[in-house]
Chain A
Amino acid sequence: MLLVNPHSGKGQALSLFTGHVQHMLNEAGVPHTLVITERQNHARELVREADLSQWGALVIMSGDGLLFEVVNGLMEREDWEEAIQTPLGILPGGSGNALAASIHHYSGAQPVSSEELLVSCGFLLCKGLVSRMDLASVHLGSSPSNPTRLFSFLSLAWGFVADVDVESEKYRHVGAARFTMGTLVRLASLRVYKGRLAYLPVDEAKNWEPMSANATLTGPPDSLLVPLDQPVPSDWVVVPEEDFVLMLAMYQSHLAKDLYAAPNSTLDDGLIHLIYVRAGISRTALLRLFLAMEKGTHLANNCPHLVYTRVRALRLEPYSPKGVITVDGEVVEYGPVQAQVHGGIATLVAPPAGYRPQSPRRLP
């Protein structure tokens, strides 16, 4: 099943499909059915009710937003554990193509233009290669007794980066540079975001074990998290500072085609890569950080305000009354939030680790 959002990518998604992908799939003899989404949450509902035995894979041709709907639709099913193993494919066709960019990166190929990215992802799809992928379970907490839970495959962001994500999503530009005129304007009145951040660091000695499914609500139990209205467990680290410029939790390598935010991340490393920037950073240093993020060299920059650490779970309690939090680039309810990683529970159409593409641009 191939899901396309016709409004995605400046309305180009559909023509990208007919122009490039359709003939690739036909040539490779891959039967497919095109579904055009009609509104927000259409995909989510469709996937929640679908008879998954009919479909070899669910492919999304859109930005990350549509994949977000599909993942959450699958996780809302009673049979989520099998459902989420349905191979998910992503073809870039929208404004946010972070996952597609990450997959392309993991295959070891050089960074490419958006059209080449599309062809290369299409190629992977035809080859039918699959890999496991991490998901993060994210709890939002306006009412701690009944938190909203979502599943996320890419990122959780707060502060300066969250604003940029939100703006750029509206630009609807395939593969556009994520920091721009809007960033410069906001750099002029650089804000400090106040909040409390805490996390569970990776314990190198322990081997990570997959979750067992005996939950009362659908989906895997979040054994690492305690309810949002209780203090974090004692083995968590609480960050002493309370003034931040940005916080970014990533489980894939790219935030956008040219924001290579977590260079060490892989599809199913079972880790959340936590990056935060403390207040006090100069505008120049922040600009440099974003410039370096294009190439993924920002962690090597030795910026004293930047902290990078690998964690399995985290919690953020923002104190500023107004602000923006994004999950996978989508704005969510502002307030306390916590997340933990569930390693490898999803399946993605992507080359498994160690695979090297021969020649993605030439098809037999």
Chain B
Amino acid sequence: MGTTASQLRKDLLSEYQELTFLTKQEIILAHKRFSELLSKEDRNIPTPRVPMEKVLSLPELKSNPFRKRICHVFSTSDMKDGSLTFEDFLDLLSAFSDSATLEIKSHYAFRIFDFDDDGTLDGGDLEKLVNCLTGETDDTRLTTEEMRQLISNILEESDIDKDGTVNLSEFQHVISRSPDFVSSFKIVL
């Protein structure tokens, strides 16, 4: 299917290896999977973007409850549409890879959970976070009272300066104690 044009140049491959937590194999595989998502015309333009819906069709992302936020966080698009270039895609895979540090993962987790992108996790962000977990339909969601109870528990435990929101360092403090966090924050192709 004329894939020679979409092979990764050796010097770029080395550069990507240096800049990310990914191995050579992982980068090559990522390139192959990314190219498959591109339409025929897009394959030959210099820095193509894959629209968000296409990214979301990847099996590794499809069942992730935060898939949309993940795309938004890693997208460098001026139009804020969640579309990804290959380098955005690599950044995403790098942060979610086996070798990424706790610091990196918790930093990105925070940004992903910060639905209104205002730099802190407030009640509204937490509510959206829980709703992502519980599902789209009314009957799977928590009731208002349950939500209130849950959010107040989380804030009680994580909001150290008691300002009603969880900032990055409070979040990282809480997450760093979770032995399972690193292994659950993973996407591997």
Question: When A188-B66, A189-B184, A287-B133 are in contact, do A181 and B140 touch as well, CB less than 8 Å?
Answer: no
Residues A276-322 near B (CB distance < 8 A): 282-284, 287-288, 291, 294
| Chain A hits for B64, CB < 8 A | 188
Q: Is A356 part of the contact surface with B, judged by Cβ < 8 Å?
A: no
A67 to B118, CA, bound (A): 45
Q: Is the beta-carbon distance between A171 and B140 smaller than 8 angstroms? A: no
Question: When A180-B154, A284-B134 are in contact, do A185 and B146 touch as well, CB less than 8 Å?
Answer: no
Q: Is the beta-carbon distance between A188 and B181 smaller than 8 angstroms? A: no
Question: When A182-B175, A283-B133 are in contact, do A163 and B180 touch as well, CB less than 8 Å?
Answer: yes
Question: When A284-B140, A287-B133 are in contact, do A185 and B157 touch as well, CB less than 8 Å?
Answer: no
How many chain A residues have a CB neighbour from B under 8 Å?
26
Q: Is the beta-carbon distance between A184 and B179 smaller than 8 angstroms? A: no
Per DSSP, chain B at the interface is helix
| Chain B hits for A288, CB < 8 A | 142, 146
Contact flags A209-232 to B (C-beta < 8 A → 1, else 0): 000000000000000000000000
Contact flags B56-70 to A (C-beta < 8 A → 1, else 0): 000000001110000
Contact flags B125-161 to A (C-beta < 8 A → 1, else 0): 0000110011100001110001001100110111000
Q: Is the beta-carbon distance between A186 and B184 smaller than 8 angstroms? A: yes
Q: Which of B65, B133, B156 has the most CB of A within 10 A?
A: B133
Question: When A163-B179, A287-B130, A288-B142 are in contact, do A184 and B154 touch as well, CB less than 8 Å?
Answer: yes
A166 to B65, CA, bound (A): 25
| Chain A hits for B129, CB < 8 A | 184
Contact flags B148-189 to A (C-beta < 8 A → 1, else 0): 011001101110000000100001001101111100111000
Q: Is the beta-carbon distance between B109 and A180 smaller than 8 angstroms? A: no
A93 to B153, CA, bound (A): 21
Q: Which of A185, A283, A287, A294 has the most CB of B within 10 A?
A: A185
Per DSSP, chain A at the interface is helix
A282 to B135, CA, bound (A): 9
| Chain B hits for A130, CB < 8 A | none
Q: Is A202 part of the contact surface with B, judged by Cβ < 8 Å?
A: no
A184 to B66, CA, bound (A): 12
| Chain A hits for B156, CB < 8 A | 176-177
Q: Is the beta-carbon distance between A284 and B185 smaller than 8 angstroms? A: no
| Closest chain B CB from A254 CB (angstroms) | 16
| Closest chain A CB from B178 CB (angstroms) | 4
Q: Is the beta-carbon distance between B65 and A181 smaller than 8 angstroms? A: no
Chain A's closest residue to B152 (CB) is A177
A287 to B145, CA, bound (A): 13
Q: Is the beta-carbon distance between A167 and B135 smaller than 8 angstroms? A: no
Q: Is A170 part of the contact surface with B, judged by Cβ < 8 Å?
A: yes
Q: Is the beta-carbon distance between B184 and A188 smaller than 8 angstroms? A: yes
| Chain A hits for B141, CB < 8 A | 284
| Chain A hits for B142, CB < 8 A | 284, 287-288, 291
Within 8 Å by CB of A291, from B146, B157, B180, B185, lies: B146
Q: Is A173 part of the contact surface with B, judged by Cβ < 8 Å?
A: yes
Question: When A177-B156, A177-B157, A180-B154 are in contact, do A185 and B178 touch as well, CB less than 8 Å?
Answer: yes
Q: Is the beta-carbon distance between A181 and B171 smaller than 8 angstroms? A: yes
Q: Is A187 part of the contact surface with B, judged by Cβ < 8 Å?
A: yes
Q: Is A179 part of the contact surface with B, judged by Cβ < 8 Å?
A: yes
Q: Is the beta-carbon distance between B134 and A186 smaller than 8 angstroms? A: no
Question: When A184-B129, A284-B135, A284-B140 are in contact, do A170 and B184 touch as well, CB less than 8 Å?
Answer: no
Q: Is the beta-carbon distance between A287 and B175 smaller than 8 angstroms? A: no
| Chain A hits for B130, CB < 8 A | 184, 287
Q: Is the beta-carbon distance between A167 and B179 smaller than 8 angstroms? A: yes
A189 to B153, CA, bound (A): 21
| Chain B hits for A182, CB < 8 A | 174-175, 177-178, 180-181
A287 to B133, CA, bound (A): 10
Q: Is the beta-carbon distance between A283 and B134 smaller than 8 angstroms? A: yes
Q: Is the beta-carbon distance between A170 and B140 smaller than 8 angstroms? A: no
Contact flags B23-60 to A (C-beta < 8 A → 1, else 0): 00000000000000000000000000000000000000
Q: Is the beta-carbon distance between B153 and A177 smaller than 8 angstroms? A: yes
| Closest chain B CB from A184 CB (angstroms) | 6
Question: When A176-B157, A181-B171 are in contact, do A187 and B133 touch as well, CB less than 8 Å?
Answer: yes
Using CB atoms and an 8 Å cutoff, list the residues of chain B in contact with chain A.
Answer: 64-66, 109, 129-130, 133-135, 140-142, 146, 149-150, 153-154, 156-158, 166, 171, 174-175, 177-181, 184-186
A-B contact pairs, 10 of them (CB 8 A): A176-B156, A177-B156, A181-B175, A181-B178, A186-B178, A188-B64, A282-B135, A283-B135, A284-B140, A287-B130
8 nearest interchain CB pairs?
A: A182-B178, A177-B153, A284-B134, A189-B184, A180-B157, A170-B177, A284-B140, A181-B174
* Known contacts A186-B178, A189-B184, then 17 further A-B pairs from the complex at CB < 8 Å, ordered by chain A residue: A171-B174, A171-B177, A180-B154, A181-B154, A182-B175, A184-B154, A185-B181, A185-B184, A185-B185, A186-B181, A188-B64, A189-B186, A283-B134, A284-B133, A284-B140, A284-B142, A287-B146
